[in-house]
Structure 1
Amino acid sequence: MSPMLPRVLPSPDGKPLPPQETAEAFRTFARDLAAGRRLWAAAEAGFIGRLFDELAADWDTAQATGRDDPLRDALDRGGPLLDGPCLEVGSGTGQFTPLLISAFPAVVSIDLSQQMLRQAAGRSPARVRADASALPVADASLAAVAAIDMLLFPAETARVLAPGGLLLWINQLGQDGPLYLPAEDVVDALPGCWTAVGAEAGWGSWAVLRRG
């Protein structure tokens, strides 16, 4: 892991903190899944899909942070970016898709939740309901995978990235986020040799990881 870059986007007041017990349970699950200590099967996928279907209608107003500081900073300072397609995994209601579209020539958004994808109409022009543990994407075909507050599926992420491709790993609330996984753990989980650069930005943090 490369040294963290200095912060350039300050953390504003009013950071929305999720319930501590719930957040810690999700963080434990995320760590165990990335490290291979927990399996991802139909039961887990069904639970997550149903949960976010239920949250979709009021996600933007009641759940989402609405801040793009970590992603903006990652795109500004985490490059160089490859000129190729980007896959946005766990895209939700598409709040951050327009920013990705400004950086990549093509962006495809996938999510387990059909209701989330419906809410993303108008933001995400290419939307596919899919499980990130089995991406409907050819080997070595992507310039980037963008994972914003998302579970990590290391082998599948590595499979679809082209040589020199990068993983945009974004935690909107940093260590307080329910799916927070530090960049060091992401590097350890990914197969092969990877380099990373990252920083804190706004309420959150980011890392850009590139296959070495």
Structure 2
Amino acid sequence: MLPRILPSPDGKPLPPKDTADAFRVFAQDLAAGRRPWTAAEADFLSGLFDQLAPAWDTTEATGRDDPLRDALTRGGPLPYAPCLEIGSGTGQFTPLLASTFPAVISLDLSEQMLCQAAGRSPTRLRADASALPVADASVAAVAAIDMLLFPAEIARVLSPDGVLLWINQLGQDGPLYLQAGDVAAALPGDWRATQSEAGWGSWAVLRRS
């Protein structure tokens, strides 16, 4: 755990508690293998984010990149290789990832989110993160920002020395929050994490031990 260097500003946008709690339990159970990911859930979330996409940047996005910026600065060494950004949404954080990695492939379940990302993410792919259209051990970096964790798929596509950037924009208040220890425990094999808090959120960079 690295010490915090980016303070938490006032005005943290807290999501509705009941909704956040329900999503958080779902995310934790999914990551731990206590519940399956189904086609019905994929269709529901795809439809939900398609509806939210047009106004996402103005009504839902935090507008702050503190956790990701801190992770890229202090979570290294990071590979100089293409990065797979899963759950990329409207591409709000893609340009920042592109400042570190030579290319960023943006992947999301929502077609409308990817349409909104057209000016930010030059390489976009609609796919389900539970079945990534990527070869085994072919990715050096995966970025997951406020994303559900599919541990077996991430472990499958990451190269032996690859890294996972796990970012929670609102920290433990976020609806998809998973602490670094739970992420490491869910991933197959032995993993270690460099982590910290930054701004309103938290981050972890995980590698195989």
Interval containing the TM-score (normalised by the shorter chain): over 0.9
- Count of matched residue pairs: 209
CA–CA separation in structure 2 for the residues paired with 1:138 and 1:21: 38
Partner SS state of residue 30, structure 1: helix
1:16 to 6, 13, 16: 13
Q: Normalising to structure 2: TM-score of the pair? A: 0.99
Question: Residue 84 of structure 2 aligns with which residue?
Answer: 87
Tell me the amino acid that sits aligned with residue 56 of structure 2.
W
Q: Normalising to structure 1: TM-score of the pair? A: 0.98
2:114 to 96, 107, 117: 117
Does residue 187 (structure 1) correspond to residue 150 (structure 2)? The answer is: no
Cα displacement (A) at 1:183? 0.5
Does residue 38 (structure 1) correspond to residue 35 (structure 2)? The answer is: yes
Cα displacement (A) at 1:211? 1.1
Does residue 176 (structure 1) correspond to residue 178 (structure 2)? The answer is: no
2:132 to 113, 135, 156: 135
Cα displacement (A) at 1:104? 0.6
In percent, how many aligned pairs have the same letter?
A: 78
CA–CA separation in structure 2 for the residues paired with 1:17 and 1:106: 33
Unpaired segments ≥5 residues, structure 2: none
Does residue 211 (structure 1) correspond to residue 204 (structure 2)? The answer is: no
RMSD: 0.5
Partner SS state of residue 50, structure 2: helix
CA–CA separation in structure 2 for the residues paired with 1:211 and 1:141: 15
CA–CA separation in structure 2 for the residues paired with 1:75 and 1:54: 31
CA–CA separation in structure 1 for the residues paired with 2:193 and 2:60: 29
Question: Residue 99 of structure 1 aligns with which residue?
Answer: 96
Tell me the amino acid that sits aligned with residue 182 of structure 2.
D
Tell me the amino acid that sits aligned with residue 190 of structure 2.
C
Unpaired segments ≥5 residues, structure 1: none
What are the Cα deviations for residues 99-139 of structure 1, in whole angstroms up to 9, with x where unaligned?
11111111100000000000001100000000000001111
What are the Cα deviations for residues 120-175 of structure 1, in whole angstroms up to 9, with x where unaligned?
01100000000000001111111110000000000000000112110000000000
